[in-house]
C-alpha cells in the first residue's frame, strides 16, 4: 500500500471488514491512508497493518464492539503519515444478520476535509488519541451502567413477582414483588427449589414446562396456581422468558408472576350467579311448568277418552293435543335436566360425557358418540364439572346452529394433558352472527379460563371442532419428586 494524503476540503474514507481474529476479509475506499504493511512481513491482521497512531484506538474500539455487541461511538484520532499527523474519525460496527455464521465487524475510517496536512493540536500524539478513546469508553460505560441500573430498579421494584431459576431449577434471583406475593425474603428464597412455589399436584407438569422452555421450546404465558409461605393458594398469570448464557445456551429462565386471585374469585362469583340462575330456571320449569303441563296432558287424555265416536273430528284433534302436550313435557324436562346437572366427580368425567352423548341421541335424534382414550386425572370435582359443562354447551351450540348429522365427543388423556374435543359435521360458522361470537361460545371460553385450560374453535365447510386442553395432574405415585 502506498502512502497518500487527502487534499484540503475533501473527505476521504475507507471501510474494512474483519473477523473475530482481527483478520481483514475485505476493504474498500482509501484504505492506504490508514493501513500500511509492515516491512518484510505478510499479514492480514488489522492491528499490525494500522498506521502509527491508530493501533491503540483500534484495539480499544474492536474490543469494545466485541464485548458489547453494538456499534461503538465515533472516536477522533490522529494518524501519522509522511506529511505529518492527520485527523481521522474511527468507529467499529458489529454485523448482525442471520446470514452471517461467525462474528464479523465493520471498521469505518473517515478523514474530514479542510484540515491542512501536518496541523494538529499541541498534544496530538498516539497516547493522546488513546486517552480520548479511553475517555469515550469510560463515558459509554457510565451511560451503559446507568441504563442497566435503571432496568435493574424497574425489575427490583416491580409489583409483579420476578423469579430467575437456574438449570438445576433453583431460585437465583428474587425481587421485592416476589417477597410481597409469596412471603419469602430474598435471603430465604435464593437457593430454594422453585417447586416449593407450586402446589404438589402441579409440580411435575410445571417443572417439565420450564425445562422445555430452557431447551428451546418457544416461551408461553399461562394461568396457574402458586402456594405462598403461609400456605395460601394464589391464582397467578405467568409469563416466561429464557436467558441465554455462554455459548448461546438458555441456562436460566425468568418467570413474571402476576397475582390474579381476586380476578379469578370475581370470575367464579359471576359464574356462580349465572349457575344459580340456571338452576332456579331449571327448577321452575320442572316444578311449576312441568307440573302444569302434566295436569293439562291428563285432562286432555280424559277429554279424548270421552269422545266415543271414532268418526268425530274432535277425537283426532284430542289425540293430537295429547301427543303435543306429551312431547312438550318431555322437552321441558330435558331442558330442566340440562339446566340443573349434578356435580361431576373428578374420576367420573368419562361416564358423564357418555351420558351426555346418550341423552343427545335420544332427545335430538342425532348420531352422537363418545370415545375415551387414557385415564383422565383431574384435580377436583369443580374442574370436572366445568369440563362436562363445556362439552354440553358445545353439543347444544352444534345442534342449535349447525344442523349436524353426527356429533363426536372425544376425551383423550396423554402425558401431562387432558384434551376434550367436540366435533360435528354441520354447516360450520356462517351467517351474520358467527358461532364464535355467541353467548354459548363466550361461556365455554369463560369456563376454560376458570380451570386454566386452553380453548380453541376450528370451523369450516366440513364442520366445527371445539377443543379444550387442560394440564393433567399426575398421581403422586407416578409424578417425579421435586428437588428439595
Q: Which pairing describes strands 367-373 and 406-414: parallel, antiparallel, or unpaired?
A: parallel
> For helices 439-450 and 381-401, what crossing angle results, to 10°?
160
Of 95, 123, 152, the one marking the end of a domain is: 152
The whole-number pLDDT of residue 407 equals: 94
Judgement on whether residues 112 and 169 belong to the same structural domain of the protein: no
Mean pLDDT computed over 282-300:
69
Which DSSP helix (H) or strand (E) runs through 255?
A: strand 252-259
Span 296-315, pLDDT tens digits: 777 777 766 766 666 666 66
Judgement on whether residues 464 and 364 belong to the same structural domain of the protein: yes
Question: Could you give the number of structural domains in the chain?
Answer: 4
Judgement on whether residues 139 and 202 belong to the same structural domain of the protein: no
Judgement on whether residues 210 and 235 belong to the same structural domain of the protein: yes
Burial class (CB within 10 angstroms; exposed 0-12, middle 13-18, buried 19+) of 463: buried
Percentage, residues of the chain above pLDDT 90: 13
Mean pLDDT computed over 332-338:
66
Judgement on whether residues 24 and 144 belong to the same structural domain of the protein: yes
The whole-number pLDDT of residue 252 equals: 81
Distance CA 22, CA 14 (A): 16
Maximum C-alpha span of the chain: 134
Mean pLDDT computed over 403-421:
89
Judgement on whether residues 313 and 252 belong to the same structural domain of the protein: no
Judgement on whether residues 305 and 404 belong to the same structural domain of the protein: no
> For helices 261-284 and 439-450, what crossing angle results, to 10°?
130
Judgement on whether residues 437 and 303 belong to the same structural domain of the protein: no
Q: Average pLDDT over the chain, rounded to whole?
A: 76
The whole-number pLDDT of residue 406 equals: 93
Q: What is the CATH number of the domain that holds 52?
A: 3.30.450.20
The whole-number pLDDT of residue 341 equals: 60
Burial class (CB within 10 angstroms; exposed 0-12, middle 13-18, buried 19+) of 161: buried
Does residue 67 lie in a domain region? Answer: yes
Of 125, 152, 179, the one marking the end of a domain is: 152
Indicate the pLDDT class of residue 465, thresholds 50, 70 and 90. Answer: very high
Judgement on whether residues 227 and 141 belong to the same structural domain of the protein: no
The whole-number pLDDT of residue 434 equals: 44
Of 340, 364, 387, the one marking the end of a domain is: 340
Percentage, residues of the chain above pLDDT 70: 71
Judgement on whether residues 462 and 478 belong to the same structural domain of the protein: yes
Residue 333 has pLDDT above 90, yes or no: no
Q: Whole domain around residue 144: which residue ranges? A: 12-152
Residue 38 has pLDDT above 90, yes or no: no
Mean pLDDT computed over 203-214:
81
Residue 8 has pLDDT above 50, yes or no: no
The whole-number pLDDT of residue 83 equals: 63
Indicate the pLDDT class of residue 136, thresholds 50, 70 and 90. Answer: low
Amino acid at each position: 500500500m502506498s502512502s497518500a494524503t487527502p487534499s484540503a476540503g475533501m473527505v476521504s474514507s475507507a471501510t474494512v471488514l474483519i473477523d473475530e481474529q482481527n483478520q481483514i476479509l475485505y476493504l474498500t475506499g482509501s484504505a492506504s491512508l490508514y493501513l500500511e504493511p509492515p516491512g518484510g512481513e505478510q499479514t492480514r491482521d488489522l492491528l499490525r497493518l494500522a498506521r502509527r497512531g491508530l493501533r491503540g484506538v483500534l484495539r480499544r474500539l474492536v474490543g469494545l464492539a466485541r464485548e458489547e455487541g453494538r456499534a461503538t461511538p465515533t472516536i477522533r484520532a490522529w494518524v501519522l503519515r509522511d506529511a505529518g499527523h492527520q485527523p481521522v474519525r474511527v468507529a467499529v460496527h458489529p454485523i448482525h444478520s442471520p446470514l452471517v455464521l461467525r462474528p464479523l465487524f465493520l471498521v469505518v475510517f473517515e478523514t474530514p476535509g479542510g484540515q491542512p496536512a501536518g496541523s494538529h493540536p499541541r498534544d496530538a500524539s498516539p497516547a493522546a488519541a488513546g486517552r480520548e478513546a479511553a475517555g469515550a469508553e469510560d463515558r459509554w460505560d457510565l451511560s451503559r451502567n446507568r441504563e442497566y441500573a435503571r432496568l435493574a430498579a424497574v425489575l427490583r421494584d416491580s409489583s409483579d413477582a420476578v423469579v430467575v431459576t437456574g438449570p438445576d431449577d433453583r431460585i437465583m434471583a428474587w425481587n421485592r414483588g416476589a417477597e410481597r406475593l409469596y412471603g419469602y425474603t430474598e435471603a430465604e428464597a435464593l437457593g430454594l427449589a422453585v417447586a416449593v412455589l407450586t402446589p404438589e399436584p402441579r409440580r411435575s407438569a410445571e417443572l417439565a414446562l420450564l425445562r422445555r422452555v430452557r431447551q428451546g421450546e418457544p416461551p408461553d404465558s399461562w394461568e396457574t396456581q402458586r402456594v405462598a409461605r403461609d400456605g395460601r393458594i394464589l391464582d397467578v398469570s405467568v409469563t416466561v422468558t429464557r436467558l441465554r448464557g455462554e455459548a448461546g445456551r438458555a441456562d436460566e429462565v425468568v418467570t413474571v408472576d402476576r397475582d390474579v386471585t381476586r380476578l379469578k374469585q370475581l370470575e367464579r362469583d359471576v359464574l356462580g350467579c349465572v349457575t344459580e340462575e340456571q338452576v332456579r330456571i331449571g327448577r321452575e320449569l320442572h316444578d311449576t311448568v312441568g307440573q302444569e303441563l302434566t295436569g293439562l296432558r291428563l285432562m286432555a287424555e280424559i277429554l279424548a277418552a270421552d269422545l266415543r265416536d271414532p268418526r268425530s273430528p274432535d277425537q283426532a284433534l284430542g289425540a293430537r293435543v295429547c301427543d303435543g302436550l306429551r312431547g312438550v313435557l318431555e322437552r321441558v324436562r330435558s331442558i330442566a335436566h340440562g339446566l340443573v346437572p349434578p356435580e361431576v366427580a373428578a374420576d367420573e368425567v368419562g361416564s358423564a360425557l357418555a351420558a351426555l352423548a346418550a341423552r343427545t341421541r335420544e332427545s335430538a335424534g342425532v348420531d352422537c358418540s363418545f370415545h375415551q382414550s387414557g385415564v383422565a386425572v383431574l384435580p377436583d370435582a369443580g374442574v370436572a364439572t366445568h369440563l362436562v359443562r363445556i362439552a354440553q354447551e358445545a353439543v347444544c351450540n352444534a345442534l342449535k346452529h349447525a344442523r349436524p348429522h353426527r356429533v363426536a365427543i372425544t376425551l383423550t388423556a396423554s402425558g401431562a394433558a387432558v384434551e376434550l374435543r367436540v366435533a360435528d359435521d354441520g354447516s360450520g360458522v356462517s351467517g351474520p352472527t358467527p358461532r364464535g361470537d355467541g353467548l354459548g361460545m363466550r361461556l365455554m371460553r369463560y369456563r376454560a379460563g376458570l380451570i386454566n385450560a386452553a380453548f380453541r374453535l376450528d370451523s369450516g365447510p366440513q364442520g366445527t371442532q371445539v377443543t379444550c386442553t387442560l394440564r393433567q395432574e399426575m398421581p403422586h405415585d407416578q409424578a417425579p419428586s421435586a428437588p428439595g
